[in-house]
Amino acid sequence: MPNTTTVEEVINNIRRVFQVFNDYSKKAKREAGLTGPQLWAIKMIAENAPLKVSDVARLMFIQPGTVVGILDRLEEKGLVSRTRSQKDRRVVTIELTEEGKDLIAQAPEVIQGHLVKGLESLPAENFMIIANGMEQLVKILGADELPPMLIHTREICTPQKKNGKNSGKIG
Amino acid sequence: MPNTTTVEEVINNIRRVFQVFNDYSKKAKREAGLTGPQLWAIKMIAENAPLKVSDVARLMFIQPGTVVGILDRLEEKGLVSRTRSQKDRRVVTIELTEEGKDLIAQAPEVIQGHLVKGLESLPAENFMIIANGMEQLVKILGADELPPMLIHTREICTPQKKNGKNSGKIG
DNA sequence: TTGATATAATTCGTATTAGAATTATATCAA
DNA sequence: TTGATATAATTCTAATACGAATTATATCAA
């Protein structure tokens, strides 16, 4: 048991966790031809479609403006479709194309998924070690009040029935 | 004691830690007029100058190409100086200007510094909880082999004596 | 109905980041 | 000395990200 762990080692470990999340883009790109955020987005869409643009943003914890760029690139690759909602013409409904669904079937797990599976398959004792550690860390950083993550939470929005479909440019 | 912690809560906590690091940029910008990376860079320089560009990159764990952009903006603000080394004309020596030193004196602690201080001031027991938790997490993510962080490590490089000084454009 | 306000998506400007290519300089071997 | 190789900084391209502004549409109140 490492009862001689130093502050430096802990920080190294925090950094390693960061790096894994950040560098996952490379591995994803190798395996699926998509960047990390693109893969993360398409997975979210696959699991929750139909989604509004703002829902994708909420699921990924990024700004809507950033999602637009990611969707542009996914649409360019023919993996997702944008459909202007008839019910509320401000809304754009995001879905996977057939090609997108095919890709998802073989796409590697996103890093977030790895983490969930890793934690779920852990012996209770080891899990509690992590749980307690993260809780302490959050307290140190004064991050207690930040909103929760909603990973894998369904019903993020009231998903709208799409009635119209006009591929290509929306307007 | 939270012996009912769920996977979701752990992931929320991980996310909170991430958010603290990412959102710190805003606070830094408010308090010092610099973005997070800019503040982190200038702190590294303050503590280790003179540094080569590649040393700054190594200290920040980012690519040299990225550092160039950050240094450009810091130089534009008059906070750092670039000096082409006489000994080895490939090398550019980075130092703080007087203005940069003044800013550092009042600049807020970088988030990394907060973390170090927080961990150091923790009761041994709580510290070990975090240490063990992070170690487990690193194992799950298979991040064991990533290089160490070198926070606050001196003598990253053989710091060169600067003999020449020609402010402005280097070449 | 009309005007004020709110909401959804997008665009714009700035910054950060990686990775690849480029330029300049240094070093080492033949 | 010269040529091959290595190293340092920089430039370039593409992607991500935020916040602010913009456009289009919806909703609510007068």
Contacts of A47 (CB under 8 A, 6+ apart): A152
Q: Which residue has the tokens 């006489």?
A: B86
End-to-end CA distance of chain A: 62
pLDDT of residue A163: 29
- Does residue B39 contact residue B28 with C-beta atoms inside 8 Å? yes
Residue of B nearest to A18 (CA): B18
Confidence class of residue B65 from pLDDT cuts 50, 70 and 90? Answer: very high
Range in A109-118, B30-39, B62-71, B139-148 the model is least confident about: B139-148
By the 10 Å C-beta count (0-12 exposed, 13-18 middle, 19+ buried), B13 is classed as buried
Structure tokens at B105: 């004196």
pLDDT of residue B92: 98
User: Of how many residues is chain B composed?
Assistant: 171
Whether the beta carbon of A23 falls within 7 A of nucleic chain D: the reply is no
* Residue A141 CA from chain centroid, whole number: 24
Per-residue pLDDT at B1 exceeds 80: no
Range in A110-119, B113-122, B144-153 the model is least confident about: B144-153
| B88/B95 Cα distance (integer angstroms) | 17
- Kindly determine whether residue A118 and residue B141, on different chains, have CB atoms separated by under 8 Å: yes
- Kindly determine whether residue A134 and residue B17, on different chains, have CB atoms separated by under 8 Å: yes
What average pLDDT does the segment B123-141 reach? Answer: 82
pLDDT of residue B166: 31
Residues of chain B with Cβ-Cβ distance to A127 below 8 Å are 5, 7, 10
What average pLDDT does the segment B110-117 reach? Answer: 76
Confidence class of residue A144 from pLDDT cuts 50, 70 and 90? Answer: low
- Does residue B44 contact residue B95 with C-beta atoms inside 8 Å? no
Give phi and psi for B123, each to the nearest 5: -60, 145
DSSP string computed for B110-146: PHHHHHHHHHHTS-HHHHHHHHHHHHHHHHHTT-TTS
Residues of chain A with Cβ-Cβ distance to B127 below 8 Å are 5, 7, 10
Residues with CB under 7 A from strand C: A 23, 26, 52-55, 64-65, 67-69, 71-72, 82, 88, 90-92, 170; B 35-38, 60-63, 65-66, 69-70, 73, 87-90
pLDDT of residue B160: 27
Residues of chain B with Cβ-Cβ distance to A25 below 8 Å are none
pLDDT of residue A90: 97
Report CA(B162)–C1'(C22) in Å, whole number: 26
Mean pLDDT, chain A, whole residue set: 77
User: pLDDT tens, A65-114?
Assistant: 999 999 999 999 999 999 999 999 999 999 999 999 999 988 877 777 77
Structure tokens at A12: 């190294």
End-to-end CA distance of chain B: 62
Confidence class of residue A141 from pLDDT cuts 50, 70 and 90? Answer: confident
| A137/B151 Cα distance (integer angstroms) | 18
Per-residue pLDDT at B144 exceeds 70: no
Domains in chain A: ranges and CATH: 7-140 (1.10.10.10)
| Helix or strand run (H / E) with residue A114 | helix A111-120
Who among A20, A119, A146 is closest to B16 (CB)? A146
| A81/A100 Cα distance (integer angstroms) | 9
Range in A1-5, A20-24, B3-7, B165-169 the model is least confident about: B165-169
User: pLDDT tens, B73-93?
Assistant: 999 999 999 999 999 999 999
- Kindly determine whether residue A7 and residue B116, on different chains, have CB atoms separated by under 8 Å: yes
CA atoms within 13 A on the CB side of A125: 0
Model confidence pTM above 0.85: no
% of chain A beyond a pLDDT of 70: 76
Look at strands A80-84 and A92-96 and give their pairing.
antiparallel
- Kindly determine whether residue A11 and residue B112, on different chains, have CB atoms separated by under 8 Å: yes
pLDDT of residue B28: 73
